[in-house]
Amino acid sequence: MPHLTTSAADPATVDTEVLVVGLFTGDDGPVLAPGAASVAAAWEGLTDDLDLLGATGAAATVTKLPAAGRLGAKLLVAVGLGKEGDVTDETLRRAAGAAARAAAGRASVTIAIDGDAEQLGLGALLGSYQFEGFKSDDPDRKWPVDTVTVLGSGDTERAQALANAVYQARDWVNTPSNLLRPSILADQAAAAANTAGLGVEVLDENALRAGGYGGILAVGQGSEAPPRLVRLTYRAPNATKHVALVGKGITFDTGGISIKPAAGMWDMITDMGGAAAVAGTMLAVAALKPGVNVTGYLALAENMPSGSAYRPGDVITTYGGKTVEVLNTDAEGRMVMCDALVRAAEDNPDVIYDAATLTGGQVIALGKRTAGVMGTDAECARVKAVGERLGEPAWPMPFPEEIKKLMESSVADVKQCGTGLERSGHMLQAGVFLSHFVAEDMPWAHIDVAGPASHGGEPYGYTVAGATGRPVRTLVALIEEHAAS
């Protein structure tokens, strides 16, 4: 990861490989944004040159041109900010991310744009991310920059901590499942947490069996790689509030006996994105030290078909004693989550947030960038507001009476999902199911990031192809809100 710093140097003379300036969209062409006045003075006709190259100032667009001795930098990158009156923190993050990505292969980048250094730095770090991968030789690869310097002031240590957490979550989600089975992810998360100073508890299959964690065990019993439940704890001095987090960690999802189609199944390496986000959030919490206690649960299993796999028609006794009628083994995420939610409530938190790549229904309903949020009204509204501010959009969804009725079972306390043609409202079915395992008076929000956790298209702003690390930044902000209230 690049090292982030700030400086008060003159942008025209600063010793850097790449200098980034901002452009507004003007009526008669691009307009240089504040922060680079000395650059304009040193480079007569700069905006005319940029206009000639097609630069418009449209948000997050990038134009590159050699400085040719006119600046201390070797290369100038002009990044669009849109209309001057429309610039937000998200505009700055996306612009810095696009510029940093365009500078790949260079050692140093300096950003000369007036704005919050934390937001500019965070965007640049997130946009610089590359998964190291497993190619034995890749001579054409352009590695990310080593150093990002923002000419201004701001909390760059916070930006670095958030980026570290998102990077770790992205790395876990991008790792192939044969290299990240439940015990491996548990060990890696535990090692990272120990290094960060967090408390760690890992329940293996024997401890899960002894504790009655029937949901996690049911999903994991079809695999030779047994499941795990990881508990990470942060305790703040004199804290009076407690936030609990729960993450779905299906390290690979074949669908089990209700096997998925082969096409696209390779994307199921990302089905532990919720657990990765919760673990990343806990690492950020350890670095940022908010004044609130935080406990994170990672419910880890591999969903495989075999002679020992759980079956449609099974009735499973989950942690806490509730029984579930299984109708589709591909609705496995909610089975591991229900155990973890009940266990999390035993810690007596003031609020529970869970994150999961839970349903294809989320993508159908809201697309690939907007998470679905279900739970208690106040917490759903809080998640939506935080997401809007951070560029991680989320939309509250209802629990309709007909969906609640659909989840009633004649043989168990609750059905796992609808049957046959009763798959309407699939995202809502999952939320209603989980609500059976959260007390009515418990503030709670379930965040379905099936689409947002991974990006399959061209990079944009600070979002790269592959894992996004969502909703790490949202969870951190929620925790900080509770710490401040």
**Tens digits of residue pLDDT in 388-429:** 999 999 999 999 999 999 999 999 999 999 875 566 899 999
**Tens digits of residue pLDDT in 182-209:** 999 999 999 999 999 999 999 999 999 9
- Of the chain, the percentage scoring pLDDT greater than 90 comes to 96
Pairwise CA distance, residues 415 & 438, whole Å: 16
The candidate with the shortest Cα–Cα distance to 93, out of 85, 84, 81, 106, is: 81
**Tens digits of residue pLDDT in 249-305:** 999 999 999 999 999 999 999 999 999 999 999 999 999 999 999 999 999 999 999
pLDDT value of position 17? 97
Annotated catalytic residue within 93, 94, 334, 384? 334
In 28-178, the DSSP E strands lie at 29-32, 62-66, 75-80, 108-112, 147-151
- 292 Ramachandran zone, left/alpha/beta (phi>0; psi -120 to 50): beta
Cα distances from 465 to residues 104, 128, 440, 458, in angstroms, run 15, 11, 39, 6
- Do 464 and 130 meet the contact criterion of CB atoms below 8 Å apart? yes
**Tens digits of residue pLDDT in 91-109:** 999 999 999 999 999 999 9
What's the chain's length in residues? 485
The candidate with the shortest Cα–Cα distance to 275, out of 214, 218, 202, is: 202
Is 334 catalytic? The answer is yes
pLDDT value of position 422? 63
**Other beta carbons within 10 Å of 456:** 10
**Other beta carbons within 10 Å of 7:** 17
Residue 213, classed as helix, strand or coil, is coil
Contacts of 251 (CB under 8 A, 6+ apart): 177, 180, 181, 182, 185, 225, 269, 271, 272, 300, 301, 302
* Domains and their CATH numbers in the chain: 3-151 (3.40.220.10), 162-484 (3.40.630.10)
Model confidence pTM above 0.85: yes
pLDDT value of position 201? 98
Q: Is the pLDDT of residue 371 over 90?
A: yes
Residue 460 DSSP class: B
The candidate with the shortest Cα–Cα distance to 349, out of 383, 379, 387, 390, is: 379
Annotated catalytic residue within 70, 74, 158, 260? 260
- Of the chain, the percentage scoring pLDDT greater than 70 comes to 99
Task: Kindly compute the dihedral angle of the four CA atoms of residues 149, 173, 364, 264, in this order, to the nearest 10 degrees.
Answer: 130
DSSP 288-337: H--SSEEEEEEEEEEE--STTS--TT-EEE-TTS-EEE-S-TT--HHHHH
- Do 8 and 32 meet the contact criterion of CB atoms below 8 Å apart? no
Mean pLDDT for 444-473 is 97
pLDDT value of position 420? 57
Residue 475 DSSP class: H
Mean pLDDT for 119-134 is 96
Buried-exposed string 207-240: b where 16+ CB fall within 10 A, e elsewhere = ebeeeebbbbbbbbbbbebbbbbbbbebebeebe
Pairwise CA distance, residues 286 & 289, whole Å: 5
Residue 189, classed as helix, strand or coil, is helix
pLDDT value of position 424? 85
Is 260 catalytic? The answer is yes
